[in-house]
Amino acid sequence: MSNTSATAFLFQSIGKNRRLLLEMARRDISDRYAGQMLGSVWAVIHPVMTVLVFIFIFAVVFRVKVDETLQIPGDHTLYMISGLIPWLVIADVLGRSSSIISHQASLVKQVVFPVEILPVKMVIATLPTFLIGFSGLLIYALATGRMSLGLLLYPVAAIPLYLFLFGVAFTLSAIGVFLRDIKEVVQMYSLVGVYIAPIFYFMDWVPTRLRPLLYLNPVTLFIETFHDAAYYGGVSSWLVWLLATGVGLFSLIIGAKIFARLKPHFGSYL
């Protein structure tokens, strides 16, 4: 089977098994906190507490020093939250992708099981985190009088991001079967990635000669679209949105090809 036909078969399989996919995504969400006293309430507590900690560090402690030297237009807290929410989703996908196949070896070895739904259901399971974060963002914007029509673009910005994450999940989950060290590389990126994307700081604060380096981080494009929607109230650069969409589609296509190419060999390495 050629790479093209194998990739097409992969997408057909996902569509054919969509009910199983949605059920496994639902179980992924509920099982993560199964047996704990607060249950799925932790799905709310985790992102909220993470956001609050960063707000305290960057919007309260550091803001005192920043105000002495810089004049920040608008609400820096809104800027920061709007970029941090998609990062929480990205970090979740990165943290689980490389081992999602190897941890389900018993399912993978079943010939009839559609292995391709494993990375997809994992990405879908991050939707509650995004929706909870977006709801909190709306509440904050309403409470501070920063509500704008641009916020309607916030869910739209999630479309290219999720295309990108599906591709990342396909790629890392497939490679992770054969190269277990990829998990360590991804974990290192997860630790520093939040600081090498303009989540807490404005791109204008970065020296001009260093800005291209930030764009080598593909996450930067997606973070900027979320900032456009929530902070700037609209599309400040159509080029950024088009590039984010292009990178998202490219990630999905390449990731699916890699997964389809390596899938027949999973059983031999698990």
Model pLDDT, residue 128: 87
Number of domains in the chain: 1
Q: Report pLDDT for 194.
A: 85
- Whether residue 67 has pLDDT greater than 70: no
Question: Distance between CA 154 and CA 5 in Å, rounded?
Answer: 35
Mean pLDDT of 132-141: 88
How does pLDDT run across 109-120, given as a tens digit for each residue?
Answer: 776 788 999 999
- Residue range 9-40, pLDDT digits in tens: 788 888 898 898 899 888 887 776 555 555 55
Dist CA 218 CA 90 (whole Å) = 11
pLDDT at position 33: 59
- List the domain range (segments joined by +) for residue 141: 3-269
pLDDT of 270 above 70 = no
Q: Which of 62-76, 174-188, 206-220, 251-265 has the lowest mean pLDDT?
A: 62-76
Instruction: Label residue 105 by pLDDT band (50, 70, 90).
Output: confident
pLDDT score of 61: 59
Report the predicted TM-score, pTM, of the whole model to 2 decimal places.
0.88
Write out the DSSP string of 15-84: HHTHHHHHHHHHHHHHHTTTTSTTGGGHHHHHHHHHHHHHIIIIIIIHHHHHHHH----S-HHHHHHHHH
Mean of the pLDDT values across residues 154-180? 94
> Across all residues in the chain, what is the average pLDDT?
84
Q: Which residue has the higher pLDDT, 145 or 111?
A: 145
Q: Residue 69: its pLDDT value, please? A: 55
User: What is the token pair recorded at 98?
Assistant: 């490389």
Q: Residue range 248-264: average pLDDT?
A: 93
pLDDT digits over 194-252, tens only?
A: 888 898 888 888 888 888 888 888 899 999 999 999 999 889 889 999 999 999 999 99
CB atoms within 10 A of CB 88: 19
Say yes or no to pLDDT of 256 above 80: yes
173 close to 256: Cβ distance less than 8 angstroms: no
pLDDT at 57 over 90: no
